[in-house]
Amino acid sequence: MIILHHLNNSRSQRILWMLEELELPYEIKRYERDSKTMLAPPSLRQVHPLGKSPIISDGEVTMAESGAIIEYLGQKYGDGRLIPETGSADYRQYIYWMHYAEGSLMPPLLLRLVFEAIKSKPLPFFIKPVARKIADETTRQFIAPQIKTHFDYVEKFLGEHEWMAGHKLTGADIQMSFPLEASVARGVADSYPNITAYVKRFQERPAYQRALQAGGDYDYA
Amino acid sequence: MIILHHLNNSRSQRILWMLEELELPYEIKRYERDSKTMLAPPSLRQVHPLGKSPIISDGEVTMAESGAIIEYLGQKYGDGRLIPETGSADYRQYIYWMHYAEGSLMPPLLLRLVFEAIKSKPLPFFIKPVARKIADETTRQFIAPQIKTHFDYVEKFLGEHEWMAGHKLTGADIQMSFPLEASVARGVADSYPNITAYVKRFQERPAYQRALQAGGDYDYA
């Protein structure tokens, strides 16, 4: 039986969705973020030294890292679903988005989050306005233009394609879902109708809905 | 003929190394960073809308994103080299590190770079000390512990393994090389003898040396 070590409000929601798409039997082991620090609990480190979610156990195999888990599950249990045929044009798109999601799209979104966090941190009153100014300027000059470039790019692609890699859902859609639905939920994608429609499209899938039920609270969705 | 759109001091050094490992014929098209902003030139956007390097053209195929290019080249031209057999334990390690390098290891290193940059930015004299304090505190409390967790983890792995995925070099080593050699070059890895020895081990490979010659200036190496 596959065990998903699941942290609430995390990338492991993707794996839950994938397990539901493949209609695999699985068990959820739950970990709750610390309500103050929002960090994963130390107990996750007993499963994997990095203490990050998602992690799956599948018999002797322990796998971490969203992209690697999606690849593993797709190859082992996909039976032709969720991964296009190796060597095809769809496969090239698949592998591209699989790496693009965390390698290129997430970094500017992460930077934005970190600088937003600095603005909301409790700081001495005489430092606070300066901190806010530094955060705002860095976001404006350096981070926001990068996010715009990426969103313009994905928006254009989704104006011409229903799914990320070919005519049906693949692991690449699952891998891309996290940054895109987080952005839609936070209003970052308000001026991107194709991205918004795409997120709605995959969120309406029965397997996605079952994953949401199974996972419990999920703020990004 | 494969064309590598190569930006100096960038992730495209990895692809150059991979091309040399596979002894493939290729052509380099060079792009130079703006000496002031250190950004890639706008001409790269004509090759790919994101204007980032590496990008390769291979006949009709244009591929971006380091991880995806490594997968593409390995699958199309590797002929059993650089990718372990699908479904094997080595393959699971391979796919894990392929995603870990940019998905987990790079983000805290990127954050460190950004906060270092804030400290060295020209700022009004009354803001500068506050900016430095904010950058130092964020690094100390939030970023440095993450980097330590990751480096401890990779250090332990490299104490027990010669290569990332099995008994010989694979694409996973090439994908992991960028964050690790940058860290060694900047002294971040000074207290990590296994990481330092590993970087030296792959940098001594003839194919790596040829890539260095072909690529020109490379500050991270």
Among B129, B126, B125, which Cα is nearest to B137's?
B129
Choose among B51, B65, B92: nearest Cβ to A96. B65
* Whether A191 contacts chain B with CB within 8 A: no
Question: Between the CA of residue B79 and those of A171, A206, B208, what are the distances in Å?
Answer: 25, 40, 20
Check whether B58 has a pLDDT greater than 80. yes
Which of B99, B107, B153 faces A50 most closely, judged by CB atoms? B153
pLDDT score at B221: 56
Would you state the torsion angle of the CA atoms of residues B35, B38, B43, B46, taken in this order, to the nearest 10 degrees?
Answer: 180
Asked if the model's pLDDT at residue B166 lies above 80, the reply is: yes
Interface check B111 vs A, CB under 8 A: yes
Q: Which residues fall within 8 angstroms of residue A103, CB to CB, at 6 or more apart?
A: B65, B66, B67, B102, B103, B106
The predicted pLDDT at position B188 comes to 86
Each of the 221 residues of chain A gets a pLDDT tens digit; together they read: 999 999 988 899 999 999 999 999 999 999 988 888 888 898 999 999 998 899 999 999 999 999 999 999 999 999 989 999 999 999 999 999 999 999 999 999 999 999 998 888 777 777 788 888 888 988 998 899 999 999 999 999 999 999 999 999 999 999 999 999 999 999 989 999 999 999 999 999 999 999 999 998 787 75
3-class SS of residue B3: strand
Nearest residue of chain A to residue B114 (CA atoms): A111
pLDDT of residue A221: 56
Chain B CB within 8 Å of residue A87 CB: yes
pLDDT of B125 over the 90 cut? no
Nearest to A63 among B68, B96, B106 (CB): B96
Query: Does the distance separating the beta carbons of A98 and B150 come in below 8 Å?
Result: no
* Residue B211 Cα, gap to closest chain A Cα (Å): 23
Q: Looking at domain A2-82, which of 3.20.190.10, 3.40.30.10, 3.90.1150.10, 2.40.30.10 is its CATH number?
A: 3.40.30.10
Residue A17: which residues within 8 A CB-CB, separation 6 or more?
A: A174, A177, A207, A208, A211
- Confidence tier at B77 by pLDDT (50, 70, 90): very high
Task: Convert the pLDDT of each residue in B82-111 to its tens digit.
Answer: 999 999 999 999 999 999 999 999 999 999
Least confident of B123-137, B156-170, B202-216: B123-137
Residue-range domain boundaries for chain B: 2-83+209-215, 89-205
Collect all residues of chain A within an 8 Å Cβ-Cβ radius of residue B113.
none
| pLDDT, mean of residues B48-76 | 95
Measure in Å the smallest separation between the Cα of A127 and chain B Cα atoms: 7
Model pLDDT, residue A104 = 96
Residue B72 pLDDT greater than 80, yes or no: yes
Would you place residue B171 in the very low, low, confident or very high pLDDT band (cuts 50, 70, 90)? very high
Q: So what's the pLDDT on residue B104?
A: 96
- Which residues is B5 bridged to in the sheet? B29, B55
Using an 8 Å Cβ cutoff, are B118 and B135 in contact? Answer: yes
pLDDT higher than 80, residue B126: no
Length of chain A: 221
Q: What is the ipTM of this complex?
A: 0.95
CB-CB contact of A58 with A2 (8 Å): yes
Contact between chains at B118 and A138 (C-beta distance less than 8 A): yes
Q: What CATH code is assigned to B2-83+209-215? A: 3.40.30.10
Mean pLDDT of B198-208: 97
pLDDT tens digit sequence for A29-40? 999 888 888 888
Whether B92 sits inside 8 A of A61 (CB atoms) is yes
For the segment(s) A89-205, the CATH number from 1.20.1050.10, 3.60.150.10, 2.40.50.100, 1.20.59.20 is 1.20.1050.10
Nearest chain B alpha carbon to A69: B96
- Between CA A191 and CA A176 the distance in angstroms is 19
Q: What angle do CA B217, B220, B221 make, to 5 degrees?
A: 80
Return mean pLDDT, chain B.
93
Q: Pairing mode, if any, of strands A26-31 and A2-7? A: parallel
A131 and B127: CB-CB below 8 Å? no
Q: Which chain A residues are Cβ-neighbours of B112 within 8 angstroms?
A: none
pLDDT of residue A121: 77
Residues 91-110 on A with a CB inside 8 Å of B are: 92, 95-96, 98-100, 102-104, 106-107, 110
> How many residues would you count in chain B?
221
Answer whether residue B79 shows pLDDT above 60: yes
- Residue B129: which pLDDT band, with cuts at 50, 70 and 90? confident
A20-24, B121-125, B204-208: segment of lowest average pLDDT: B121-125
Both tokens assigned to B178 = 């960028």
Q: In what order do the strands lie in the sheet with A26-31?
A: A26-31, A2-7, A55-58, A61-64
> For residue range A39-92, what is the model confidence (pLDDT) as tens digits?
889 899 999 999 889 999 999 999 999 999 999 999 999 998 999 999 999 999
